[in-house]
Amino acid sequence: MAPIRRRSTRALGGLLLALAACGGNGGGNDTPPPGALGTLAYVETECRDTKEGFVERQALRIRQGDREPVTVFETPTVGPIAGVAGLCRYLTRTRYGERAISRQAFQAVAVSPDGTSVVFEVTDEFSVSPPLPLDLPPDQKGLFWVRADGTGLRRLGLPSRQRSFFLNSYGGVYTWPGLRFSPSGRTIAFADRGPDAAGHDADQIGTIDVATGTRMQITGLPPAHPPPPFLSDGPTIAILPFIDERTVSFDSSANPGDLNPNGAFLLMTIETDGSDLEVPLPSPIAVPGGVITLQFVITGDRPRATLVVVPGEPVNQSNPPTIREVFVIDEKENALQLTNFRRSDTWDPLLDVDREHIYFPAAADPLGTNPSESCQIFSIDRTGGDLRQVTNFRESEHSLSGCLANGAVGQGCFVLLGAQDPRNRPLVFYSSCDPLGTNPNGAQIFAVQPDGSGLRQLTDSRGLMREADGTYTGTLPGQWAYGPYVP
């Protein structure tokens, strides 16, 4: 393996949490009709509380444009499991379907950049919260590829030996991307386990050639642990978007070449042939009583948007009590802080395909247009100007949970922004809000234009329902991915 290169950065603050996707090649040059949508792949989890016990199953569904979803993969039903009365009702009341990743079989899903194919991972190795007897047959465990119309399903190989979620000491579940397509769609990158240079088993990056199924470990990172508040047995790698066809980006808390001695999550890159690992200099953190001085300089045309944990106490209650702000960083590593909400529930930003605007969920009220402090999508330009509120969601007079995905109905709904179609620019997001009056007790995936117009509901999960016999059923979308319009 080539020597490790240290790359300096001026991204200031604490933990670098996420890198926003910068779009793709769009899959062609034809202009889609106004409002046209692409390929949405999503896992749907359905549970029931029966007299015999808890029952649950999952399915992967794919929706292309305005067509009805097709089901391409289903896992065997689990249960009935006695002794867990009311578990389905409890799990569904949070309206956070992605939490199913910590107990169920689907671990990751990705849509190719041209929207024509889907890759997903299924395994029964990581059911922990709560543990379920999944007992999948061997032919239903692995990494799989399928066309977006539901045909051509084939197994690419064994599943990863590392899970795609974190548990923290406060009982929270955090999902991190487990699969990424290269810009051409010919290669996928994923987190796995493998040997380092000394033969020690550790978290690594692997790739698979989609056409041939050839699998390759491209990193040789030493063993590591995630930093607090994540539990020590959690993943130490999160896959981020490819920089280009040959360059994979990822967050890692490993310490290759003693360049990350504090074990913080740092943005690293590596070539798909395993060469040229780049590790940034650790970001400076203000000492107690000190002040971080930011350099407000943005140049070039390839910015990236990210969350940074900054020092201080958040104005809203959360576990852990951290402040997350949106930053933009250009290719020269100049950093600009775009928000100063001092909240813990400002979430992953998304860079517009025009590279001039950034979208992000937040529960702040910087414009005086969100007095209930409900979770909304905001937009801002890359220089910190033109702040706008895109959505106008409201579930209660004052939200108790803001953008935290832990509130029951009436306490406040949340938004998780996930993708933007690079051709006609709709934002695609997961939300427990009910803006159309069709989602009173659950969560759905929606799309909206950057100016707030054209709001559409893309899924039809039932949420929490009380049946005639007094028992409860719950259906929520979980892991999901989106690819652009295909003419």
**pLDDT attached to residue 11:** 33
The encoded tokens of residue 56 equal 């649950």
Output the CA torsion sign for 188, 190, 193, 197.
positive
CA gap 129, 47 in Å, rounded: 15
Structural domains in the chain, CATH included, are 5-460+477-482 (2.120.10.60)
* CB-count exposure of residue 440 (10 Å: 0-12, 13-18, 19+): exposed
**pLDDT attached to residue 290:** 36
DSSP string, 414-483: -EEEEEE-TTT--EEEEE---TTSS-SSS-EEEEE-TTS---EE-----EEEE-TTS-EEEEEEEEEEEE
Buried b (16+ CB within 10 A) or exposed e, 106-136: bbbbbbbbbbbbbbbbbbbebbeeeebebeb
The encoded tokens of residue 332 equal 């020269």
Q: Which 3 state secondary structure label does DSSP give 256? A: helix
**pLDDT attached to residue 295:** 39
Q: Give the mean pLDDT per block of 10 residues along the chain (487 residues).
A: 45 34 41 76 94 93 93 93 87 89 93 94 91 92 95 94 79 79 94 93 95 94 85 83 90 89 86 89 42 42 77 82 84 77 90 90 94 94 91 87 74 89 91 90 93 93 87 92 81
Q: Which 3 state secondary structure label does DSSP give 59? A: strand
**pLDDT attached to residue 1:** 45
**pLDDT attached to residue 246:** 93
**pLDDT attached to residue 487:** 63
Residue among 344, 27, 416, 294 nearest 168 (CA): 344
Q: Which helix (H) or strand (E) holds 359?
A: strand 357-362
**pLDDT attached to residue 6:** 46
**pLDDT attached to residue 410:** 65
DSSP string, 91-128: HHHT--GGGGGGTSSEEEEEE-TTSSEEEEEE-SS---
